[in-house]
Amino acid sequence: MCGIVGYIGTQQAAPLLLEGLTRLEHRGYDSAGVAVLGSGLRVAKKAGRVRDLSAELPKRFSGKVGIGHTRWATHGPANDVNAHPHVDATGDVAVVHNGIIDNAAALRERLTDEGVELASDTDTEVLAHLIARSTADTLEERVAEALAAIEGTYGVAVLHADFPDRIVVARNGSPLIIGVGEKEMHVASDLGALVRYTTTVAHLDDGEMATVTATGFTTYRQDLTQVQRAATEVDVDPASYDAGEHESFMRKEMLEQPAAAERVLRGRLDERFGTAHLGGLNMDARETREIRRVKILGCGSAYYVGQMGASLIEELARIPADAEAASEFRYRNPIIEHDTLYVAVSQSGETIDTLLAVQEIRRKGGRVVGLVNVVGSAIARECDGGIYLHAGPEVAVASTKALTNMFLGFALLALQLGRVRDLSISEGKRLIEALIALPAQLQEVLDGEDRLAEIATGLAQAESLFFVGRVRGFPVAREGAQKFKEISYRHAEAYQTSELKHGPLALISPEVPTVAIVPEDELTDRNVGALHEIAARRGPLVVVTHPDVDLRGLDVQRIDVPRSARELDPILLTIPLQLLAFHAAQVLGHDIDKPRNLAKSVTVE
């Protein structure tokens, strides 16, 4: 949510800021703005898209130092005044801010009592005034003094007309990255805004600040004691952040799933011993055997794939495992057990709810590992170890290839946990054989896109849908409903198939389709029986199933996916649901990559 960019160097800042903001549009926003330092400080901001801001930017908007922002409204509506950057009363200080200032109301009241006229409804504006009212000698001291007065989360970048040779940035709970160029420096909240210019970056940790000049950067704590923060090279192809020939990032990323699956498995499968090698967990076999429980934490799709992962771990390793919404975890004062392995799941590695849960676990002495897609992200740095997903950059808000690689990450974890316990070598080899075959099976499902597009056209006309499944199929149904609602804006609700007769069956009608997950397993007959109950009430049925499942006597739209090992079936059953959601949204004419009210990286609670 929200995005920050900054530039200082030898080029005109405004075009680079606008380009960077465009590359952050996937994070979700409702207004945009830039500030540049040239002959004084100048600010331009606008509700709407970056292109709207660009169209209204004055022709003479010169300056070689600047900051920019895309805002996702929290305090106050989306309008020109509430857009960032925010300035002080004299127009000498400009601030952009991601996060939420919890004590903003008290600070606004204090500033008003002191005679300050606040122009906006936002929490961020108080920062600009606090910095401007400081009498400290340096900009760094003024920013540190202002930050000491606030409570909450922030990633901030600050310009001051009296200090035109620098940008001061700070982080606490919201990501900030410094990009190192040749006689120029960049600042961003997301790597995607930087990769066209540099792949040499430094990540700030929580509680850190930095001074960025055209020739380098200096990092320090909020008490202004210096800390060493070296820049490193990130292995990323800038072309990965372009949709290329595809009409949307989501379609591009769906089609990349077979290749992404191969990457996450590469070098991690030991066919000789029927196990997985996950050196990044930083646990030896003895430590692994001491684990008695696994708790998985994630939000949204990461939570649902965590439920799939919990099932994998219980089946293969025979360890109690469950998944929980990370956003709720720390608020119930959880009991942290020394023999429990906690697993934090996040595509971006910056999801604030999940990051706070990780910090709560570590404060209480628990062991936590991460399943993340972004090297150097906050969650990756906070965890004791982890599994990088190697999905490549994922830009669309709706997660597809990262979700698939999360599932495969859990499969690898479950295999390694199982093999140090009671999972036999023959069972391990069976799983490995199925994992090796999986990328080709993913491609087989994607090749059926035309048929799925036809079915989606019909589903798009419904105002409300059910997604149902049992045991392994229920998290699949939850993820399917999530995808459908977030990009098609149709109401979609997931239930256990067994729960239909305990309430939801009352809503079944010809106007309410049901998408049912019916794998060939020990519950096939019961699942098919539930389909007959829906059909008896004239509910339209779309069934995602396996080729050998007998659906005779039922009027359904059938979607067959190839069989894998029973433990791996959920991910193959999930892929058609991605395509159904995508094509339904396309039929309805929605902006698929930027669904309303949502953001790619959720960095505020």
The first and second tokens of residue 582, run together, are 């995508």
* Cα–Cα distance, 576 to 555 (Å, whole number): 19
* Cα–Cα distance, 396 to 240 (Å, whole number): 12
Residue with tokens 């990370």: 326
Question: Distances from the Cα of 412 to the Cαs of 286, 431, 449, 475, in angstroms?
Answer: 18, 9, 28, 19
Q: Which residues contact 174 (CB under 8 A, 6 or more apart)?
A: 98, 99, 153, 154, 155, 189, 350, 352, 603, 604
Apex 280 CA angle, 275 and 286, nearest 5? 60
Identity (one letter) of the amino acid at 209? M
Which helix (DSSP H) or strand (DSSP E) does residue 105 occupy?
Answer: helix 104-113
SS3 430: helix
Among the listed residues 2, 64, 295, 594, the single catalytic one is 2
Strand 216-221 versus strand 208-213 pairing type: antiparallel
**E-state strands within 269-420:** 269-270, 275-276, 293-298, 321-325, 340-346, 367-372, 385-388
Q: Is 299 a catalytic residue?
A: no
Question: Distances from the Cα of 477 to the Cαs of 58, 399, 530, in angstroms?
Answer: 50, 15, 15
Q: Which residues contact 199 (CB under 8 A, 6 or more apart)?
A: 233, 234, 235, 236, 238
Q: Is 383 a catalytic residue?
A: no
- Please list the active-site residues: 2, 600
